[in-house]
Every structure is written in structure tokens, then in C-alpha cells.
Structure 1
Amino acid sequence: MQTLANNLNLLETTADPNLLYSKAPDNGDRKQALNSIYKQLFKENRNLEFFRNAEIDSKFLAGETSTRQTVCSLICSEMYQDYILMTNSNYHFVTICFERVLGRSPIQAEKLKWSSLLASEGLISFANKFTSTNEYMDVFGDDKIPALRSGKLFSSNQNTPALPKFQSIQRYTGPGNETQWYGGSGSSMLPWDGKLPPTLVRKAGAVFTVAGAIEVARVLILIVMAALGTGSI
């Protein structure tokens, strides 16, 4: 298992028999487990039925897919992309995945590593590799439902919503920010804090603005004087 930061206060996962499954026919326990998976992945949303994916659900309930495969599929689902990925920067999205899928907060090096992988390889590759890490397999295996393992979660603990994009983007402006989704250089963010340029730049801009206004006024005066001289006015 990967070594974690000492201040994360990791908690031992409890062996709940309702969270362990072998491939089996549809039954009440698997329905309960499926609800728990959705609650863990979409925890800031109260109406979980809205996020249901019929194809993913039916395969799990029929015992065709494991809990781990279902978690991976839901991360790749359209709903997870639209309501979790697209509303956050890659950097913050990785933090959310660590907290909801691995049950703990990531350290800085992990944020950088996984956000770069997401930006370069895409969501499907990210989800497959993330749910196949040694840590995930050692702690949850194929059939345990991801659960809280740390007492210190910063983004999505206790059903607190993830940060809105306009806030989270300020924390991450490296590879994989919003420009990869909208594909335009015009959507890139300004590099200054608060989107305001330094004082020197603002003063220089004011000077150029005043100078431009004076030049426009001078040209207008010359035009009027020329018109008066020719008797056009």
C-alpha cells in the first residue's frame, strides 16, 4: 500500500459483510450496495436517482461486474463527467476522486501526478488506472465499496459540495485546465490574482487611454477646422 502523509489520521476500514460480494444474481443486498456506491461517488447530490445509469446498474445487479468495475464505469459515465469533472478543474477533480474512491485526501505529489495523467490520457484511462492501483486493490479489492479512511477530507466530506469551477480553477491553472474541454485559446484564464493586472500595468493602461482620447480629440478638431476653412460648415 502507498505511504500516506502522517497528518491524514487514516482510519481502518471496517469489514461490513453487506459490502462484500461475489458474482451472484440480482438480490436486495446488491441493490443496497449499488445505492451505497452512488452515494459515495455523488455524495453532494441528494437526488441520486437522477444520476442512475441503467446499463451500469443492470450489469452490477446481475453479477456481471464487480464493485470495482462499477465504480470505474461510473467515473467514466456521462453524469460523472457533466456534474463532477466539468464543474471542477482537473486538479480539484483528482482531489475529489481520492476522497471518494480511495477514502482519503491526496498529497501534493499525487495531485500533480494524477491531474497530469488525466490531462494527457483522458478520463477512461484515468479511471481504469485509478481503480487498479495497489492501494485500491489492497484496501477495497474487487468487491468492497469505497469508504472513508481519513478524518481529514477537504473537498467533499460530510456531503459538502465540491468547489464551483470559478473557485477551484484558481487553485490549478496547469495542464488540463478548462481549455482542454473547450479547445479555445480564448478561454484561457488571466495569469494575475483576482484577474487584475499589477498596479504598474494598470497605470500604464490609464496613460495610454488618456493619450488615445487626446489624439482622437485633436483629429476631430483638425477635421472641424478644415471644414470651416473650406466653407463646408
Structure 2
Amino acid sequence: MALPLLPVSTLTMNARVTSFALADEEWSRQSQSAARSIAGTCDRRDLDIQIEQAYRQIFFHAFKVDRDPMLESQLRSGQITMRDFVRGLLLSQKFRDDFYRCNSNYRMVEQTIGRVLGRPVYGDQERIAYSILIAQRGLPSLVDALLDSEEYMQTFGNDTVPFQRSRVLPGQPVGTMPFNQQAPRYGAYWRDSIAKRAPAQSLTWQNSTMGQLPDWLANAPAPWARKLWLNTVAAGGFVITGLMLWIALSMLSTGGPG
């Protein structure tokens, strides 16, 4: 039997306080989406800007290979809303390969809440609650829980691109660090595990803290055997090349005048 989502008590943070700051880079994104909600439509240029913002919010970039033409077409034709577009990006193969499979459940909760709700997690209580949800029902259940939550609907609704809330704080010379700098794509433990499994030219086994070779070199031949094999292949290549040239010259010399 699946456990229900554990209750989470909210914390006092900037995302829960109404901002009295003047228009800035965050306000421009919110005003464009709000104008689209009121008018019911927007021109192609404004929609292109919102799509780019959605890619940057979820993927932190908008490379051509990572774009989803089907989702963009549905959004442009009005078949889906911006909230559905964000849902599609979060459930895409790109997000699974580059984020979901590179992080633990705890870190995945931090990554997804920062992208979808635009705020940090409410401490360990919220981190544990959503990590249990991921363990029981997978990533789609977390995405649905966040996009269908009352907080998301009141803050962004169906047509607003999610953004980091209250990053630029009035009265402070330096605002909150952008989320993509606070939470990189994967943590140090994933980087270290990849370094042990995959080849790396800069890997020095003498300085390895584990004191053992990585898995991909566990059954590798000795250095002298590899050197002997390379020399044998090189010598064989010269012999074959010489033999082919000798055959070609012999065929040309047999065609003398009759």
C-alpha cells in the first residue's frame, strides 16, 4: 500500500513574501505570460521567448538537439498550455538522462522544486516527503504533484513560465545566487563514480584514494603485452604494404612489348 504524501510545514523564506521591487528580469517574464493569459493569445515572437525561457528554466540551456518539436508545435497551436509544456520537458528523455539518473532521490527533489516552484525546499521534511513519493511511484508522480499543487497554480497558473522567485532582493547589493549555480546538474558523488568507471586520460592510479584500479581496467593486459601487440601490428602493416607494392610492380613489368 502506497503511503500518502507526508504533510510539510512551510518555512519563512523570500518566495513566500510579496516583493515590492521594481520591474526587473523576473518581472518581464511574469508580465509577458500574464498578458497572454488575459488576451488569450500572443504573437509568435513572444511565444518564442517564452519557449526559450522554459528550456532555460528546466534544462538551463536551449541546444537544438535537446528541443522537442512536437511539444513546441502543440504549444504554438494551442493544444497544450505552458504548464503542460513544462510537464513534457520534465518527463522527457533528456531530463531523465541528464538529471534524474545522475542524482539521488533527495537531490532530485531539490532539483525539481527549484525548477518548477522557483524556491528552495522547506528543509528535510519536504525533502523526505517527496523522496518517498519518488521511491514509490517514480518521477512522473513528483512532477504531477508539483505542477498540480495549489502553490504552483496560484504562483504561475497555466500560462506562466516558472522562474526563480525573489532572487533580486530590494535593499541588498547582491541578490540570491541563481539556482543553476546553487544546484549543478549532478553532485560530487556521481562525478567520482563516473571517474572510476569510465576511461580518463588524467587518471593516475598511484594517487587513487581507493587504492585499486577502476572496473574498466580490472582485466586489462600488462603494459609490456600491449606494447608487443602494437609493435607486431605495425610490423605486419609494413610487410603487407611491401607485399602489395611488389605484386603491383610485378604485374606492370610482365606487360612488355610483344
TM-score (norm 2): 0.56
| 1:104-159 C-alpha deviation (Å, 9 max, x unpaired) | 00022111111111121122222122101010011001111111114487893448
Aligned counterparts, 1:112-131, within 5 A: 112-131=128-147
Q: Distance in 1 between matches of 2:182 and 2:47?
A: 23
Aligned residues: 169
The residue that corresponds to 1:93 in the other structure is: 108
Q: Distance in 2 between matches of 1:129 and 1:164?
A: 24
Which is greater in Rg?
Answer: 2
TM-score (norm 1): 0.62
Segments of structure 1 that go 5 or more residues without pairing to the other structure are 171-193, 196-233
Question: What is the CA distance between 1:87 and its match in structure 2?
Answer: 1.2
| 1:193-215 C-alpha deviation (Å, 9 max, x unpaired) | x99xxxxxxxxxxxxxxxxxxxx
Q: Distance in 1 between matches of 2:176 and 2:83?
A: 22
Whether 1:19 aligns to 2:42 is no
Query: Which of 104, 122, 128 is residue 119 of structure 2 equivalent to?
Result: 104
Segments of structure 2 that go 5 or more residues without pairing to the other structure are 1-7, 20-25, 168-174, 194-208, 211-258
Question: What is the CA distance between 1:17 and its match in structure 2?
Answer: 2.9
Task: Give the letter for the 1:138 counterpart.
Answer: Q
Whether 1:5 aligns to 2:2 is no
- Preserved CA contact (<8 Å) 2:102 2:190: no
Change (3 A) 1:159 1:82: same
- Preserved CA contact (<8 Å) 2:133 2:142: yes
Whether 1:28 aligns to 2:49 is no
Q: Distance in 1 between matches of 2:102 and 2:183?
A: 15
Q: Distance in 2 between matches of 1:139 and 1:3?
A: 18
- Preserved CA contact (<8 Å) 2:114 2:120: yes
- Preserved CA contact (<8 Å) 1:105 1:150: no
| 1:27-72 C-alpha deviation (Å, 9 max, x unpaired) | 22111111100001111xx453232112111111212111111111
Change (3 A) 1:158 1:150: farther
RMSD, aligned CA? 3.2
Whether 1:58 aligns to 2:73 is yes
SS at match of 2:27: coil
Change (3 A) 1:161 1:49: farther
The residue that corresponds to 1:144 in the other structure is: 160
Change (3 A) 1:84 1:96: same
Q: Distance in 1 between matches of 2:183 and 2:138?
A: 26
Task: Give the letter for the 1:31 counterpart.
Answer: D
Identity of aligned residues (%): 26
